[in-house]
Amino acid sequence: MSRIVLGVAGGIAAYKACELLRRLRADGHDVTVVPTESALEFVGAATWAALSGHPVSTSVWDQVHEVPHVRLGQEADVVVVAPATADLLARAASGRADDLLTNVLLTARCPTILAPAMHTEMWQHPATQSNVATLRSRGAVVVDPDSGRLTGADSGPGRLPEPAELAFVATTILGEPRLAATMAARDLAGLRVVVSGGGTREHLDPVRFVGNSSSGLMGWALARAAGLRGADVTLVAANVALAPPPGAQVESVTSTSDLEQAMNRAAKDADLVVMAAAPADFTPAESSATKIKKTSGADTLDLRLVQTADVLAGLVAARTDPGQVLVGFAAETPSEQADLVTLGRAKLARKGCDLLVLNAVGPGLVFGQPTSEITLITPDSEVGPIAGTKDTLAHHIWDAALALRSHR
């Protein structure tokens, strides 16, 4: 069981931290809430105590014999502050220790995640941006705020990301703590990243389609990870019913032809391109404009299918920037690991991409699952199999892609 300190600063978004707390507890983590005095103006101590199962304090003078201002930080596996107000960021950056939460931040030697939430003008102010840069330089993971409706009628960047997104960040770092330094370093900053996710649909008629089981979870994890590492992210989503990752520009598509056109447009100026979507390999030769009805006395329906465009090979052929790195995915059904790599190497040579991510698929494997196992291959190397959550694996994929780019 991981020990998490959930810090809550005094912003209207404090109510969202209740949902984050519930999610972390549901995942089996032990969570102690440390609010600021002003946070209790929004959500009372009784609520935090009831949801966490631990007493709640804001002061270093409570339960002094247990030295909470030192013990909580020393024993935590991760500290998450959500929301982190402009005031809290300023106090943390300057090393203040004037309440229990700032004391915890000074004593913690575990990864620290700060999720800012404030009005747009406050987030964009040079003082706040300077404080964020300082905290990141010290290894803190500062999650960029989302854009959307703020307090009152205001709208813009400064909105606290949804609790589900913050839970993904926390559990990813708990699973692989070294990723905190990777996120803090923002090693994809200044790079344009394009990711596709989901599965395309080829319509037989207005009701039915030929498709596949791709859920889009891997594409979403890749977009989320790239955003945390500072990239400018475009996500081409094929029939995915998931909330967009914070900061990603999302374009929705339906068919393989739609996916091909969207990826060709987005990839022109991209530094890193990942084709995680699963395009349907075949499309009906003819599509009915009306619903195909059952015919009395007929037990079969004959369909003629033709191959769709090879989106990944097309991206390779259209590439004009020698520094651009193209990553493909392969879902195979091998009998063993050696067969998987053999199939992958054949596909890598056929497609011409720089890096191929191999998945062995089957019942209960990969599609729709939060975890997976991948093998990464290039023309000269092979890494894996690597198992983990899709969010963790996404970072391994970006590590490999970035390493390839550094040698261009």
User: What b/e string do you get for 374-387 counting C-beta neighbours within 10 Å, with b at 16 or more?
Assistant: bbbbbeeeeebbee
At 381, the pLDDT band (50, 70, 90 cuts) reads: confident
Question: 185, 202, 228 — which closes off a domain?
Answer: 185
pLDDT at residue 62, rounded to an integer? 62
CATH of the domain at 237: 3.40.50.10300
In this structure, the answer to whether residues 130 and 202 fall within a common structural domain is no
Q: What are the pLDDT digits (tens) for 206-258?
A: 988 888 888 899 999 999 999 999 999 999 999 998 888 888 999 999 999 99
pLDDT at residue 39, rounded to an integer? 95
At 127, the pLDDT band (50, 70, 90 cuts) reads: very high
In this structure, the answer to whether residues 199 and 160 fall within a common structural domain is no
Q: Dihedral angle at the C-alpha atoms of 162, 163, 165, 170, nearest 10 degrees? A: 150
pLDDT at residue 384, rounded to an integer? 78
In this structure, the answer to whether residues 261 and 305 fall within a common structural domain is yes
CATH of the domain at 11: 3.40.50.1950
- What's the number of domains the chain is made of? 2
| 301 backbone dihedrals φ, ψ, rounded to 5° | -130, 120
Question: 163, 185, 207 — which closes off a domain?
Answer: 185
| 4 backbone dihedrals φ, ψ, rounded to 5° | -120, 135
* pTM (2 d.p.): 0.89
In this structure, the answer to whether residues 226 and 371 fall within a common structural domain is yes
In this structure, the answer to whether residues 204 and 135 fall within a common structural domain is no
Question: 154, 185, 216 — which closes off a domain?
Answer: 185
Catalytic residues: 212
pLDDT at residue 302, rounded to an integer? 84
Residue 188, classed as helix, strand or coil, is coil
In this structure, the answer to whether residues 169 and 223 fall within a common structural domain is no
For residue 390, what are the domain limits?
Answer: 192-292+300-406
In this structure, the answer to whether residues 154 and 201 fall within a common structural domain is no
In this structure, the answer to whether residues 129 and 243 fall within a common structural domain is no
- Count of CB atoms situated within 10 Å of the CB of 244: 18
In this structure, the answer to whether residues 211 and 118 fall within a common structural domain is no
In this structure, the answer to whether residues 345 and 385 fall within a common structural domain is yes
At 402, the pLDDT band (50, 70, 90 cuts) reads: very high
**pLDDT > 80? residue 400:** yes
In this structure, the answer to whether residues 232 and 345 fall within a common structural domain is yes
In this structure, the answer to whether residues 200 and 348 fall within a common structural domain is yes
At 61, the pLDDT band (50, 70, 90 cuts) reads: low
Q: Measure CA 11 to chain center.
A: 25
Q: Dihedral angle at the C-alpha atoms of 180, 181, 187, 189, nearest 10 degrees? A: 60
Tokens 């589900």 appear where?
Answer: 164
pLDDT at residue 336, rounded to an integer? 74
pLDDT at residue 368, rounded to an integer? 65
Q: Which distant-in-sequence residues (6+ apart) come within 8 Å of 386 by Cβ?
A: 373, 374, 375, 376, 393, 396
What would you report as the CA-atom Rg of the chain, rounded to the nearest whole angstrom?
24
At 309, the pLDDT band (50, 70, 90 cuts) reads: very high
Least confident window among 10-24, 263-277, 375-389 = 375-389
